[in-house]
Structure formats: C-alpha cells, structure tokens
Amino acid sequence: MTPAHPGPLALVGGAEWRERCTFDADLLAMSGGTEVLVLPTAAAYEHPARSVEAATAHFASLGGTVRGLMVLARPDAEDAANAEAVRAARFIYLGGGSPLHLRSVLKDSAVWQALEEAWQAGAVLAGSSAGAMVLGDPMVDPRGGAFTVGLGLVERLAVLAHADHWSAEKLHRTFGLATGGVRIVAVDEQTALLREPGGLWRAVGAGGVSVYVDGQPAGLDALAG
C-alpha cells in the first residue's frame, strides 16, 4: 500500500544513466546527499557490473558517487547486511534488465522490506525499465504485453517502459487488457514519471509520458490518490 508521505519516486522508461536523463541531478539534490545505491538485480544475467559502471560515470558527472549493491539472487536479497545497506540509503536506484528476475529476487525479501521502509522514511527511489515495471501492480509482462503480478509499491498502476519503441498494435493489445480502474503509464526512454513527496505526479526528461485508465487516454491527474 502506498504510504501517506513517502520520498520522491521516479519511474524511468529505460535507457537510464545517459546524458538526457537530466532529472537525475534533481533526484540527487532531493536525496540530500551525494551517494546513490544502485541495485543491478534485473541485469544479473547481463553483466551487472557494467550497469554499476555506467551509473558511476553518469552520477560522477553530476557530482555524485555510486555504490553498487550486488543483490543478484534470492540469497543476496535475504542477506542482513544488504538489507541494512538499503535501509540506510537516501537514494536507491533499481536498474533495468529482466523484470521477471527482479521480481523473483525481491518479492517478500528482507531487501524489499528495507527498500519500502527507506522510501517511507523519505528516501529517493528510482527504477528504470524493469526497475520501474516491478514497482506497480499489475506489472506488464514484456514477453507479450499482458499483465502479471508486480511488487505493488504503487497499487493499480502498471508501468509500460520503452514506450517509444512499442508498436501501435502491441500497445492496443495491452490497453485492451486493462480493466477495473487499472492505470497504465507509458514512459519513453530517458524520461521519468516523477512522484513528489506531496503526491504530485509530473513528467520530466527527454521524452513523453502518457496515462491511460481502463485503456482510455487520461491526464496525470488520474494518478492522484
């Protein structure tokens, strides 16, 4: 369940840690610190160290530092030291890769509980691509565009990442499956849907964000509450 006063939340459409992700400077400032804790969990089978290296170079250009936390498998997500590192962080970033792997590693784990606690205590939380997709419930299954179970940090919200690379046919099929008040946010790459601590949602970055409720176009105000 979404808490009343969480920290900033950035749902990034993919292609993270690149020049046009200008919103990262604001997120770093919102954190009140200079360190970003990066979890390359979703890229466990896709050179996770390279993800951390990319984040390190990107945030260095913004005056920040990166600590990579290699939560790559279920035992890592149950490790007490990893959970404590997440709980103490002021800026947590979930990178892209496989949302299904990310979900299986984090679901009901000690690290996930620590992440929720940190965000509820005011930490900045960002997720890109897979990292954004798992935070809602339902979650868009990238294999075909249908819905599956997400981690539910934000309820009745499905994130459609890399929206600028989806075909009109695939988008139409996914929107047609949305019922019961489900909100879909289609987020372009190098773009973020940002939820500020007061609950206001806004689009930032290089591309666009579109909102749909039950498959029909809506505005950002549909995300309130």
Query: What is the structure's pLDDT at 225?
Result: 62
Spatial distance between the Cα atoms of 223 and 202, rounded to a whole number of angstroms: 10
Do residues 95 and 16 lie in contact, with contact meaning Cβ atoms separated by under 8 Å?
yes
Backbone angles phi, psi at 154, to 5 degrees: -120, 120
Residue stretches of the chain with pLDDT short of 50: 1-3
- The helix or strand, by DSSP H or E, that contains position 31, with its residue range, turns out to be helix 23-31
Distance of CA 166 to CAs 7, 25, 103, 142, 172, Å?
A: 30, 28, 22, 11, 10
Closest C-alpha to 33, from 92, 113, 82: 92
Query: What is the structure's pLDDT at 2?
Result: 44
Options 3.40.50.880, 3.30.930.10, 3.40.50.10800, 3.40.50.300; CATH for 9-218 is: 3.40.50.880
What are the DSSP calls for 101-144, one per residue?
A: HHHHHHTT-HHHHHHHHHHHTT-EEEEETHHHHTTEESEE-TTT
